[in-house]
Amino acid sequence: MEGQNKKIITRFAPSPTGFMHSGNLRTGLFAWLWARKNKGTFILRIEDTDKAREVAGSIEHIKESLRWIGMDWDEGPDIDGPHGPYIQSQRLNLYKSYGEKLIASGHAYADPYTPEQLDAWRKEAETNKKPFLYREHRPENPPVWDGSMPLRFKVPTIKKFSWTDAVWGDLSAGEEALDDFILIKSDGYPTYNFAHIVDDIEMNVTHVTRGQEFISSTPKFLSLYEALGVVPPTFVTTPSVMASSGTKKLGKRDGAKDVLEYKKEGYLPEAMMNFLALLGWNPGGEKEVFTKEELIELFDLNKIQHSGGQFGDEKLDWLNKEHMKKLSPDQIQNNIFSYLPKELQKEKLVQVIFERISKWSDVKTMLDSGEFNFITQQPEYDRVKLIYKNSSAEKIKNNILQAITALEGLDENNFDADSVKNALMSVAEKLESRGELLHPIRYALSGLDKSPDPFIIASILGKNETISRLHKAV
């Protein structure tokens, strides 16, 4: 099916209408993976023909989103190639020439009607309980198209179209989807329906990867390909990604976030790519953590599913942690330190923190919620809570004193978690319950109901501070 000797060319064609959200980028990622897998070409094309919906700065934002997760493009707005320019508003002459070609072949006409006239026909159709169709009002002698009127497509044949989608298999849609649609608006800009087809033809795109919402328009596209005498490319329709709650498609209005927000929150780009790739695709098997290279190798259009899956931050967090674990100790330390003030940039803290985060910004959350305050200042706490379960104040006091004696025997310069553990366990082992020693020590040192184990805390505080806090508890 893939045309063994034809170079695969895919494209991602976002519109600059604001930030890039995960569902959109996922569709682009599939196109990219397919091109990379086949050593083909991946084109980034900006579809900016709807000027009313354009948001300033979006093009940069789109490019940054792609770059961040690691998607590069071979041709695009800033990488010139044989089919440029890659921004539709810079290709208006091309659409115009295609428009003229269609007029010449009898497949397009200048639409001379005023909004009032169209309104009247619409009302008439409504009264007659019939659908309003432009094709029933084709002008007999259309004026010469001078660009001031919309250019409308003249659907050559009204028929049922059948086609094969790489993901969905055989599809078909009836005549109701067909009507004369606008090719070029009176503002000189082409419609999406027209421009993307011209560009996909001119750019020799072999695989058109886009979201499910375009399936219903496919008869229009096929009709236009037919009028142009061009064999359509392979359609790769990606399943919609669902929002994390409910049954709605992930969309900007339903909590879909800007992809670059995830960058700000300290997610790893390789985790984000891995996560997006699994929204509607799976190579089969249990494995879920993939590098970029593995994704490229394993990706296959045949494995794209009919469900895009649910967007879930929990899954993303889990994947992110898995990718974080692949980093070197130095990388982990540097990232964690970048969120910590100087006085907390302690090597011993790194492991403690790393165990409890799933993205770098979690360090900031921990910091902001005061979880590290006990390190730089003596904690305030409820003395009663020093007493473990049914134990007595007397017993606890005695145990802590024994612990102090054991810790005093340690070298101040080798006060690491293991030495502390050996010293404390030698005392704890002799007790009825270890908790009668380990709990009060942990609490006396941190003042927190939940904290890392007392050995690590002691090693972070150092010998003098540890013993001083234990004396205070006594």
Binding site for ligand GLU (CB under 6 A): 13-15, 47, 192, 196, 210
Which of residues 50 and 74 has its CB atom nearest to ligand GLU in the complex? 50
Q: Give least dist CB 24 to ligand GLU, A.
A: 7
Tokens 């013993």 label which residue?
Answer: 467
Which of residues 260 and 474 has its CB atom nearest to ligand GLU in the complex? 260
Which of residues 13 and 456 has its CB atom nearest to ligand GLU in the complex? 13
Q: What is the DSSP string of 243-307?
A: PSSSSPBP-GGGTPPBHHHHHHTT--HHHHHHHHHTSSB--SSS-----HHHHHHH--GGGB-S-
The Cα-based distances of 289 to 14, 44, 268 in angstroms read 28, 27, 13
Which of residues 44 and 243 has its CB atom nearest to ligand GLU in the complex? 44
**Among 23, 14, 26, which Cα is nearest to 61's?**
14
Tokens 């895919």 label which residue?
Answer: 10
Q: Give least dist CB 316 to ligand GLU, A.
A: 23
Which of residues 28 and 447 has its CB atom nearest to ligand GLU in the complex? 28
The angle formed by the CA atoms of residues 197, 209 and 150, to the nearest 5 degrees, is 25
Which of residues 163 and 192 has its CB atom nearest to ligand GLU in the complex? 192
Q: Give least dist CB 435 to ligand GLU, A.
A: 60
Helix (H, G, I), strand (E, B) or coil at 163: strand
Which of residues 83 and 210 has its CB atom nearest to ligand GLU in the complex? 210
CA distance 178 to 173: 9
CB 369 within 8 A of CB 339: no
Q: Give least dist CB 196 to ligand GLU, A.
A: 5
Q: Give least dist CB 347 to ligand GLU, A.
A: 48
Q: Give least dist CB 204 to ligand GLU, A.
A: 15
And the tokens for 217?
């328009």
And the tokens for 285?
């098997």
Q: Which residues face 161 on adjacent strands?
A: 173
Which of residues 14 and 309 has its CB atom nearest to ligand GLU in the complex? 14
Q: Give least dist CB 272 to ligand GLU, A.
A: 20
Q: Give least dist CB 115 to ligand GLU, A.
A: 26
Task: Taking the CA atoms of 358, 418, 428 and 461 in sequence, report the sign of the dihedral they define.
Answer: negative
CA distance 417 to 398: 23
